[in-house]
């Protein structure tokens, strides 16, 4: 069984170290599962969208060659590197990014922090432009207006400059930045008297009514979901409505669900980072993510309904 790596792979490998840092963990999870599901039901995958990568264990059984004629990978992701499977070894498995890329990323963050500490203005400029909109997005989870969010982020950068020399690198730069901005935004929200603890009421059973109606008393589908024209995210994003629907659906989520969905999925933090930044429990985090994604899926289903299915 041989599969070519998909677009997602190409995207991940061509992205800047920063983008890589933000998304690798989450992508790894989703691709590994995609593979597992594909083993059971290949019909879920449209050809050419399957993303298969290799675990470090399986990787040792793979031979990398250049310029020969099997399994071309899409352009952009190391275009003329081809993967072979050495016969007689275990099943193919698939983590997101080859080890070297992850190490490179770590490396680049080290040099980045070093350059910041050394007072390199270009690096600071790069970090600010990379993170500005993401920090605004996090601040916006707590404060009411974009203007306030920008104020919070401005304060955050000043706090970062003050604290940089004491940054111990126990967490990643990203987690550190997110933590500071969330704390500042929380302080603002408290001052305005509108700090709503995330998770209350959203994570317990009360927020469950829509799904309950899908199933009968035995827990089987009473209202089975309609099929979508495609399950390939890239293909779906070509439709003009998809993106707008996604953004609307995220905006419409209750605060806690939106916070977790934005940090986990949109920003690509891992579960522990999200708990740390939002100061919520692991259980709450899981439930909020599930509820949030379920609502977004339902919104997408409304747009993607295909006539006749």
Partner 1 sequence: MLSCKDVSERCTDYLERELTWRDRVQYWMHLAMCAVCRRYVGQMRTTAALLKRVGDDVPLHAPLDPALREAFRATREGRPPS
Show the site string, 175-214: x = touches partner 1 by CB under 8 A, - = not. ------------------------------------x--x
Q: Catalogue the E-assigned strands of 24-92.
A: 62-66, 81-85
- Given 124, 167, 187, 255, the residue binding partner 1 (CB under 8 A): 124
Which residue has tokens 């008393």?
217
* For partner 1, the closer CB: 192 or 282: 282
Distances (CA, A) of 4 to 81, 148, 237, 302: 11, 46, 21, 32
Q: Can residue 220 be called a binding residue for partner 1 (CB under 8 A)?
A: yes
Angle between helices 240-252 and 282-304 (to 10 degrees): 140
Question: Distance from first CA to last CA of the chain, Å, rounded?
Answer: 31
Token pair belonging to 196: 């709503």
**Cα 158 to Cα 107: distance, rounded to the nearest angstrom:** 25
Stretch that binds partner 1, among 61-69, 71-79, 100-108, 118-126 (CB under 8 A): 118-126
* For partner 1, the closer CB: 185 or 287: 287
Nearest to 73 by CA among 63, 83, 60, 85: 83
Q: Can residue 164 be called a binding residue for partner 1 (CB under 8 A)?
A: yes
Cβ atoms within 10 Å, residue 50: 20
- Given 41, 67, 87, 213, the residue binding partner 1 (CB under 8 A): 41
Residues binding partner 1 (CB under 8 A) = 8, 11, 19, 22-23, 26-27, 29-30, 32-34, 36-37, 40-41, 44, 119, 121, 124-125, 128-130, 132-134, 137, 154, 157-158, 161-162, 164, 211, 214-215, 218-221, 224-225, 227-228, 231-233, 236-237, 242-243, 246-247, 250, 261, 265-268, 271, 286, 289-290, 293-294, 296-297, 300-301
């Amino acid at each position: 069984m041989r599969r070519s790596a998909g677009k997602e792979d190409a995207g991940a490998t061509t992205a800047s170290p920063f983008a890589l840092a933000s998304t690798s963990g989450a992508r790894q999870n989703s691709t590994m599962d995609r593979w597992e599901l594909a083993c059971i039901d290949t019909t879920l995958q449209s050809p050419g969208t399957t993303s298969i990568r290799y675990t470090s264990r399986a990787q040792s059984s793979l031979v990398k060659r250049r310029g020969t004629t099997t399994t071309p990978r899409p352009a952009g992701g190391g275009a003329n590197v081809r993967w072979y499977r050495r016969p007689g070894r275990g099943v193919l498995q698939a983590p997101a990014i080859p080890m070297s890329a992850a190490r490179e990323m770590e490396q680049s963050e080290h040099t980045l922090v070093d350059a910041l500490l050394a007072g390199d203005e270009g690096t600071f400029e790069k970090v600010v432009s990379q993170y500005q909109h993401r920090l605004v997005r996090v601040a916006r989870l707590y404060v009411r207006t974009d203007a306030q969010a920008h104020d919070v982020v401005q304060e955050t950068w000043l706090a970062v400059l003050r604290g940089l020399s004491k940054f111990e690198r126990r967490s990643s730069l990203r987690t550190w930045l997110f933590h500071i901005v969330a704390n500042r935004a929380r302080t603002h929200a408290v001052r305005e008297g509108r700090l709503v603890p995330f998770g209350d009421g959203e994570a317990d059973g009360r927020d469950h009514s829509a799904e309950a109606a899908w199933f009968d008393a035995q827990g089987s589908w009473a209202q089975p979901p309609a099929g979508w024209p495609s399950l390939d995210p890239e293909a779906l994003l070509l439709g003009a409505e998809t993106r707008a629907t996604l953004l609307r659906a995220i905006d419409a989520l209750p605060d806690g669900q939106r916070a977790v969905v934005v940090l986990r999925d949109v920003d690509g933090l891992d579960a522990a980072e999200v708990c740390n930044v939002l100061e919520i429990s692991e259980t709450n985090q899981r439930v909020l993510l599930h509820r949030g994604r379920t609502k977004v899926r339902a919104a997408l289903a409304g747009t993607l309904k295909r006539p006749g299915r």
